[in-house]
C-alpha cells in the first residue's frame, strides 16, 4: 500500500479484507507520522454503568463521556480531538463540513484511536466511510498499544474538531437503517422462516449475552430484536479486551456465533448490526469487513436497542420471559 496506508502484519493470511477496513499497528502509525502522510484523530471516551443507579423503569442506567482531559494531558503527536458523542449519522453533513476544514482535499490516510477497546475508533471510522472517506484506519489497541510501543506523544498545541453545527438535512445516511426499516426486515424474516427459506440478510446484536437473552436490561423491555444473532463485540477482541484478534480468528469467531458470510447457494449475505446506542455494533461492522464482507453489504441500525427496547410496538425475543407478541 502506498502513501502511508498500512495493514497490520499480524493479519496476513487467506482472508481478503475490504479496502476500507484498515487496521494499523503502532509501528505503522509511527512510520506514517515520520513521513507526514497521515491525519490522526483522538476519540477516547467511555460508556459506564451509572454506579448502582437503577431507573424508575427498573433497568441499569449508563453514563457516556468523552475523555477530553486525557487528550489535553497527553496524546499522539499531531492528533486532533473529536467528542465521539457528537458523531451522528443522521447529521452527516455536520461531520462532512468539519472534516473538510481539517483534511480538505488532501489524499492522506486518516487514523483514529481510542483507549484500545476499539469502540469509538470504529464508530468514527464507520461514520467517515459512510460520508465517502475511503482511506480511514483504526489503531489496533489504541492508546494502550501506542503507550506500550512508546510512540511519540505531545502535550502542546491541542486541536478540537467540534461537531455542533446546524444540520441542513435530516434524512439518514444510506448506511443507517431506521426503526421502520427494521420492523419490515423482521416481518420479512418471519415470512422466510415460515416458508423454511434461507434469508440473505443477517441481523447482528453486538451487546453482551446477558443483555441479548434479557437477563440484564438497559431499556424498558429486555431481550433482543426478533431473529437477530448475538455477536458480543468483546468476543472479537484480544483476551485483555484491547485490539482485534487476527483476521482468520475473527472469521472463526463469527462462525462460532452462527454467522455465515454466504448463503448455502453461495450468495453474499448482507448485514444489519445494532447494539444499545449505535457504537459497539460498529466494531462488528469493522470485523465483518476484515473477514471479507464488502462495505456495501453492511449497515447499522443507529437507533439500536435504546430506541427499539423502549417502545411497546417492536417485536422482541426475551429468552428469560415469554416472547412479546403484538
| Residue 202 confidence (pLDDT) | 96
Check whether residue 21 and residue 135 sit in a common domain. Answer: yes
In a domain, 17, yes or no: yes
Cα–Cα dist 88/248, whole Å:
31
C-alpha cell of 308? Answer: 427499539
Regarding whether 230 and 133 lie in a shared domain, the answer is no
CA dist., res. 151 & res. 144, Å (int): 10
Q: How far apart are CA 116 and CA 234, in angstroms?
A: 12
- Residue 304: its pLDDT value, please? 96
Integer Cα distance of 317 and 221 in angstroms:
10
Specify if 111 maps to a domain: yes
Of 102, 121, 154, the residue that ends a domain is 154
> Does 165 map to a domain?
no
Note whether 150 and 183 are same-domain residues.
no
H helices present in 150-198, as ranges: 179-194
What is the number of domains present in the chain? 2
Nearest Cα residue to 22 out of 94, 122, 89: 122
**DSSP, res 287:** H
Label residues 66-82 b or e (16+ Cβ within 10 Å = b).
Answer: bbbeebeeebbeebbbb
Work out whether the CA dihedral 189, 303, 131, 171 comes out positive or negative: positive
Write down which residue in 139, 154, 169 finishes a domain.
Answer: 154
Does residue 322 belong to any structural domain of this protein?
Answer: no
Q: Tell me the angle at which helices 281-290 and 247-256 cross, rounded to the nearest 10 degrees.
A: 120
The predicted structure's pLDDT at residue 166: 55
DSSP letter assigned to residue 86: G
Residue 324 has a pLDDT of 39
172 part of a folded domain: no
pLDDT tens digit string along 164-210? 655 555 445 678 899 999 999 999 999 988 877 778 999 999 999 99
| 68 falls within a domain | yes
Is 184 in the same domain as 311?
yes
Per-residue pLDDT at 101: 83
Co-location of 293 and 204 in the same domain: yes
Residue 243's CB: how many other CB atoms inside 10 A? 21
Question: Does residue 195 sit in the same domain as residue 280?
Answer: yes
213 and 252 in a common domain = yes
| Structural contact between residues 207 and 276, judged by C-beta atoms closer than 8 angstroms | yes
| Selection from 325, 282, 276 nearest residue 300 by Cα | 282
Q: Are residues 137 and 225 in the same domain?
A: no
Q: What is the pLDDT along the chain (326 residues), one digit of tens a residue?
A: 444 455 654 454 566 889 999 999 999 999 999 999 999 999 999 987 655 555 555 566 678 899 999 999 999 999 999 999 988 876 777 888 889 888 877 778 999 999 999 999 999 999 999 999 999 999 999 999 999 999 999 998 888 888 865 555 544 567 889 999 999 999 999 998 887 777 899 999 999 999 999 999 999 999 999 999 999 999 999 999 999 999 999 999 999 999 999 998 899 999 999 999 999 999 999 999 999 999 999 999 989 999 999 999 999 999 886 443 43
State the residue range of the domain holding 254.
Answer: 179-317
Note the pLDDT of residue 323.
44
Same domain, 146 and 13: yes
Distances in Å between the Cα of 55 and the Cα atoms of 49, 62, 169 are 12, 10, 34
Question: Is 170 part of any domain?
Answer: no
Among residues 137, 154, 171, the one where a domain terminates is 154
Q: What is the pTM of this model?
A: 0.89
149 in the same domain as 17 = yes
Residues 206 and 298 occupy one common structural domain? yes
Same domain, 104 and 183: no
Answer whether residue 3 is part of any domain.
Answer: no
pLDDT of residue 326: 36
Domain CATH number, residue 211: 3.40.250.10
Q: d(Cα 221, Cα 63) in Å, to the nearest integer?
A: 19
Residue 271 parent element (H or E): strand 270-274
pLDDT at 59: 63
**Helix boundaries (H) for 198-319:** 209-213, 247-256, 281-290, 304-308
The three cell numbers locating residue 291: 473477514
Amino acid at each position: 500500500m502506498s502513501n502511508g496506508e498500512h495493514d497490520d502484519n499480524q493479519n496476513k493470511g487467506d482472508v481478503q479484507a475490504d479496502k476500507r477496513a484498515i487496521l494499523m499497528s503502532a509501528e505503522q502509525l509511527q512510520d506514517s507520522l515520520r513521513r507526514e502522510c497521515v491525519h490522526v484523530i483522538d476519540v477516547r471516551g467511555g460508556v459506564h454503568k451509572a454506579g448502582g443507579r437503577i431507573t424508575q423503569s427498573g433497568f441499569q442506567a449508563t453514563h457516556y463521556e468523552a475523555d477530553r482531559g486525557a487528550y489535553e494531558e497527553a496524546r499522539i503527536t499531531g492528533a486532533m480531538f473529536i467528542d465521539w458523542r457528537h458523531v451522528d449519522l443522521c447529521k452527516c453533513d455536520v461531520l462532512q463540513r468539519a472534516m473538510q476544514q481539517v483534511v480538505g482535499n488532501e489524499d492522506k490516510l486518516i487514523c483514529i484511536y481510542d483507549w484500545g477497546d476499539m469502540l469509538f475508533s470504529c464508530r468514527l471510522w464507520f461514520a467517515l466511510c459512510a460520508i465517502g472517506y475511503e482511506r480511514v484506519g483504526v489503531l489496533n489497541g489504541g492508546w494502550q498499544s501506542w503507550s506500550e510501543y512508546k510512540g511519540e506523544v505531545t502535550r502542546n498545541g491541542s486541536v478540537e474538531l467540534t461537531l455542533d453545527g446546524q444540520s441542513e438535512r435530516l434524512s439518514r445516511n444510506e448506511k443507517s437503517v431506521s426503526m421502520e426499516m427494521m420492523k419490515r426486515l423482521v416481518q420479512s424474516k418471519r415470512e422466510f422462516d415460515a416458508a423454511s427459506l434461507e434469508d440473505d440478510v443477517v441481523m447482528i446484536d453486538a451487546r453482551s449475552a446477558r443483555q441479548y437473552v434479557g437477563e440484564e436490561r438497559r431499556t424498558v423491555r429486555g431481550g433482543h430484536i426478533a431473529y437477530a444473532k448475538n455477536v458480543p463485540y468483546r468476543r472479537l477482541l484480544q483476551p485483555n479486551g484491547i485490539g482485534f484478534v487476527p483476521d482468520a480468528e475473527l472469521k472463526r469467531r463469527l462462525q462460532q456465533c452462527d454467522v455465515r458470510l454466504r448463503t448455502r447457494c453461495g450468495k453474499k449475505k448482507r448485514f444489519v448490526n445494532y447494539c444499545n446506542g449505535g457504537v459497539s455494533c460498529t466494531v462488528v461492522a469493522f470485523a465483518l469487513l476484515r473477514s471479507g464482507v464488502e462495505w456495501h453489504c453492511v449497515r447499522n441500525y443507529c437507533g439500536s436497542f435504546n430506541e427499539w427496547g423502549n417502545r411497546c410496538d417492536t417485536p422482541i425475543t426475551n429468552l428469560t420471559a415469554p416472547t412479546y407478541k403484538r
